[in-house]
Chains A and B, each alone.
Chain A
């Protein structure tokens, strides 16, 4: 018995104990299986730019590029509430970033300077980051897989594992990828400048690991209910998504089989 297997058994034992703390609950069945988890390398670009909020910036740009005669006109152009626009224009007029000539508003030198500062961007080197992705959950996970063991390859794969090649090869939605990256504190703010992920350059799968999970089928006699508990060893928690999948697909079957 490998250390790993031992650990697994220990874990299962511990979990059983916890479960059975509830005297009304019986473990009707249990199983150990694995889910595939992909390690994806994400290449991305960041930019460093001045901190200026996007609406302010856009309003300055609009004054620079178009002859705007009134707040209403700008409101219609940008589809932004008149009140917001008026707020900004008031500040800009007060701080003399804009002035009104004859008909239209224009940027003052100061305003132009401000805009230039605002849109100044310093492109950074391409960076990369590895992220875990579970097709069974259709989501990225934080963290790394430390152990890459052969042992786990021997156990069964989760019966509803989403192993379709197409899904594996899928192109990820950039927003999801960026969201996953953002969780790693890549975007930082230093003083007046901020670093922003500007582009996902590429995503590529490095390898697939099998992550063991321990499944318990439980019966609560008090409530006359059957349900699954699945311990995800990678995330070290009861995996709600997998539990729900199993409950939905098999509950009727369990009642027939175990009761």
Chain B
């Protein structure tokens, strides 16, 4: 069922045929070449099969039996299948056969391709690489199917339960009697021969009687003990019975057949198979259903939508999400949150986008409910598919046979509305036209005024220019005046400053002059000081003279001393000269020199030193002499010793001449002799002759040296005497010259003493003279102090002289300044006068300027008006208005045509007959874009043929459907949108909930299977696992009064999610308008608490499992009577319209109780102001009423008893969320809040009770009174 869009372009492929394949082909054609030339190319669908034993890739090529026209004609619509092996250079056909026309060719597992086969030998065509790749990527179809089969097995349980119930052969019985009920809707047969076992099986089976071809209805229930079978009759048989035309003969056979349920199960099974075989419209479906984290294609597309309905933020989000997502979108919608509105909007949006939508639900009621609430819009063409008799009234108009009529009604209504508006439109047009013309008129007059104004504006422009110039000139002169003024101001400031300065100066000078001495004082002082100076100068001269005298006297004394000294020296020198010749010894000479204190001259000194050296040498002669004696004796000894040994000594004496030029010291020679002595005296008697000769030889050498030395010394002795006398001569000469020097000094001293004496005399004279001049002399006159005093006095005198000059200078200045001050004052006066004049001038200029500017401004105002633009605007407006007038006139002309045509159309359509409607029906069906049906019916063959796939499948009330049921519509959708509420009730299986089945079942194995299924809610799992982009929750409910809503909010609290009330004012919007003894206007939530006492206990029907509660029935009756009266009262008091009725739903957890409520309402009461709907809580899901009475039934003191189905929070949630205005809970609070077995149940009901109490809704019901 995949779309042809996956087709690739035509590809050429080499095909080799085996004989086996050829055989198959030859059944249809002469040979393979002819066969494959039948068409240019073939559309085939390639399925990969498991690899064969050789590891080759096996393929099956299914030839499309629609697009391959020639082939299809040849095969009469049958499907050709060619088995192939994939080879590198093409395909190898290993088999060819033809299968039935119903074999599916396209599946999600197969690759669709358009191939051109080349069968010629060695053609070299090969196979395109992309085809090769695609085939390699293809999954092995069987493996994929096997996977799905494995996963879907978890759903088997649902089918097994249904199959177990259905898997019975036809049961035949004989009825002995039959009865019809009040309205002929049900027939009861009494079948005595029906076995107990069969009785259990026949519920839900279709019933046929002998003699009737059709089945007459379905078994509602069978009573084992009474042997009765209750049958719900088909409408046709109801009518027949009513007309008495149908009187089944007695004792005839009745056949119970499971045909209907079996066919239903077959459809469900087929759904499994289709999914396994890859036939889902969305290839992704199998993953979505079975993977824990479904791989969903996530898109980021966010298209801006224009909503037709008024949606809240959550609803908008849901619609946007549903439109934008791919594959799957899930909407969780608590009661009253506007799920249907969302569905309606999605349908509308799909219609706008050109999509076809399937709206499916588990029950016919839900489908009809959803369809009837879709908006009527000409773009939405709704079709209801299903068995007419099972479709509710609100869905009937959408049945194919009625859509023509529906369309007619809709179109007529639309037309009527337009026609009605035509008159209005005409008037509107007229008014608009008039309006336009008026406007044009107005604009024209405006235009004239504008033109006048524009003229004036032009004049103003000229004037503006003139004025501007004038102002400019004024400004210029003002600037000049200002400059002048500034200058004058500067002048004035300067003059003022000068005057001030001069005045200050004069003051200062006057002060100065006042502070000085007067001229007379000054000259007196000057005279005094000058006389003092003269006196001091005299004293100073006296002092200086005295000093000089003292100085000369001391100089004279010194000269005298020097003279005496020189005299003595002369004497001494004469004395020494006399002694010198007598002195013979150097030492004596030396001491006399020292004695006479004579410094010897350098020559004398030198002679004395060399003389001393000579004397020294002469002194050493004794030493050498002594050495000579020792040497001689030693030689003598040695010569004797050697002679004694007969050694020829003479040879030695001769020989020694060879040795010379050797010098020795005295000491060395002594040491030599000592060493020899030591040798001779040593103990060694063996005197070595040789050694002895060496010694002797040494002795000879040394004697020679000593003798030489002695000669030298003798010569020196003679020299000494001559040297000494030469030196004495020298010395005498020196003394002689010294004596003459002393004599010259003596003369000099005599002369200088005389001159000094003369000077002294002069000084003494002068001193005396001064002393006589000065009358008295101060005692302590000192030169420095006098000099200091003199200096002081002289400076004092100088300052007086200077002061005198100053005073004269100041006086001059003063006179000068006074002149200046006078001049300045004169200038100032002139300046001030000029300033005053200038200021007056500037003021005049300013005021003139202001005046000019004022006039300019008014001109500018005129100029500023954008009159030209205004004129242009007016002109364009006139133009557009004229155009509008033209179009309006055109419309006005056309309106009658339109109107006439519409009128004609209206009357034609009104008279439309069957034939016309049939034609319209055909069109409608062809273009139907919203199709509604039940899940199971969506798999009916007829439907499948007409609508194989849908762009979008919306499934409503998802939680009510089992996964196998959901699968059927899901298979058809390219995109699937699930809407439901997993906090509401789970699916029913037949008439029973899974829980009921669980309770009734004794087989543990089956029980476990059922329990597993109970836990698995496909919707819940998908909702939890899907990414955020593919799900949303609706959160604003509009159904219930806020107080009622509060009872269910705990069921929905999750994370940040809270159920909110969308009613802006619950009290006024959900006002039930009733005021009675039991119900006050403000009551919206009540609990009639039945005592937990025997009189109020539950009861069980004999032979049945269901329960009822008589006391609660009684309470319901009272409540209903009270409500009926209150409604009557409300009408009387004008709160309600006379014809309005309160809709009341009476619901219970137990079917038996509901049955009794029905009887109560039908038989025992008559309410003229109420309308009713009754049912079990489970059946009521999806419905809403103004008032709901909920009968809880369970009430007992049996310790083992529990609260039954009422413990499922989902059931309680449904029960509490049906009422719009008033919810009355009737039941034992103790039973549910204290006696319930499970703590969770007690808590849940405890919370409910608490909310009721908070709303002041708790009422105890005792003894039949509230």
Contacts and interface: CB of A to CB of B under 8 A. Distances in A.
A83 interface: yes
Contact of A198 (B179, B379, B904, B911): B911
A252 B923 CA distance: 53
A22 B182 CA distance: 11
A248 B911 contact: no
A251 interface: yes
Contact of B916 (A55, A87, A240): A55
Interface in A211-257: 220, 223-227, 235-238, 240, 248, 251-252, 255
Contacts of B905: 58, 61-62, 78
A84 B927 contact: yes
A24 interface: yes
Interface string B892-925: 0010011011101100110111111001100100
Interface in B997-1056: none
Nearest to B379: A81
Contacts of A21: 177-179
A142 interface: no
B378 interface: yes
B1241 to A, nearest CB: 34
Given A77-B902, A224-B1163, A236 B913 contact: no
A79 B411 contact: yes
Interface residues of A, number: 45
A63 to B, nearest CB: 10
Given A194-B913, A252-B1166, A77 B901 contact: yes
Nearest to B1166: A252
A88 to B, nearest CB: 8
Contact of A248 (B178, B381, B414, B1166): B1166
Nearest to B916: A54
A87 B923 contact: yes
B378 A81 contact: yes
Nearest to A228: B182
Contact of B908 (A58, A187, A225): A58
Nearest to B417: A79
A61 B904 contact: yes
A196 B913 CA distance: 8
Contacts of B908: 54, 57-58
B608 to A, nearest CB: 165
Nearest to B241: A238
A248 to B, nearest CB: 7
Given A80-B411, A236-B243, A225 B182 contact: yes
Contacts of B897: 65-66
A241 to B, nearest CB: 11
B244 A237 contact: yes
Contacts of A251: 1162-1163, 1166
User: Which of A51, A54, A77, A236 gathers the greatest number of chain B CB atoms within 10 Å?
Assistant: A54
Nearest to B914: A187
B180 interface: yes
B448 to A, nearest CB: 40
A11 to B, nearest CB: 10
A65 B904 CA distance: 11
B1163 A226 contact: yes
B418 interface: yes
Interface string A82-98: 01100100000000000
A240 B89 CA distance: 80
A198 B900 CA distance: 20
A235 to B, nearest CB: 8
A114 to B, nearest CB: 15
Contacts of A248: 1166
Given A79-B378, A81-B379, A22 B180 contact: yes
Given A80-B411, A81-B379, A223 B179 contact: no
A53 interface: yes
Nearest to A235: B243
B661 interface: no
Contacts of B923: 55, 84, 87
A56 B923 CA distance: 12
A80 B901 contact: no
Interface string B623-646: 000000000000000000000000
Contacts of B1165: 252
Nearest to A225: B1163
A226 B184 CA distance: 15
Contacts of B1164: 252, 255
A50 B913 CA distance: 13
B1159 interface: yes
Interface centre among B178, B184, B247, B914 (most CB of A within 10 A): B914
Interface string B1160-1172: 0011111000000
Contacts of B247: 18
Interface string B224-249: 00000000000000000011100100
B666 interface: no
Given A79-B414, A80-B378, A196-B913, A65 B244 contact: no
A65 B901 contact: yes
A237 to B, nearest CB: 4
A25 interface: yes
A114 B424 CA distance: 36
A189 interface: yes
Contacts of B902: 77-79
Contact of A187 (B182, B415, B913): B913
Nearest to A253: B1166
B418 A79 contact: yes
Contacts of A198: 911
Contacts of A58: 904-905, 908-909
Nearest to A57: B908
B183 interface: yes
Interface in B369-414: 378-379, 381, 411, 414
A224 B1156 CA distance: 10
Given A224-B1159, A237-B243, A189 B915 contact: yes
Contact of A55 (B381, B898, B920): B920
A227 B1164 CA distance: 11
A189 B915 CA distance: 9
9 contacts: A53-B920, A54-B908, A55-B919, A66-B898, A79-B415, A79-B902, A225-B182, A240-B242, A252-B1165
Interface of A: 18, 21-25, 51, 53-58, 61-62, 65-66, 77-81, 83-84, 87, 187, 189, 194, 196, 198, 220, 223-227, 235-238, 240, 248, 251-252, 255
Given A21-B178, A54-B916, 20 more contacts: A21-B177, A22-B188, A53-B916, A53-B919, A55-B919, A58-B909, A62-B901, A66-B894, A66-B901, A78-B901, A79-B418, A81-B381, A198-B911, A236-B243, A236-B244, A237-B242, A237-B243, A240-B242, A252-B1165, A252-B1166
Q: Report the 8 A-B pairs with minimum CB-CB distance, sorted nearest first.
A: A22-B179, A53-B919, A237-B243, A54-B916, A79-B414, A227-B182, A54-B912, A83-B927
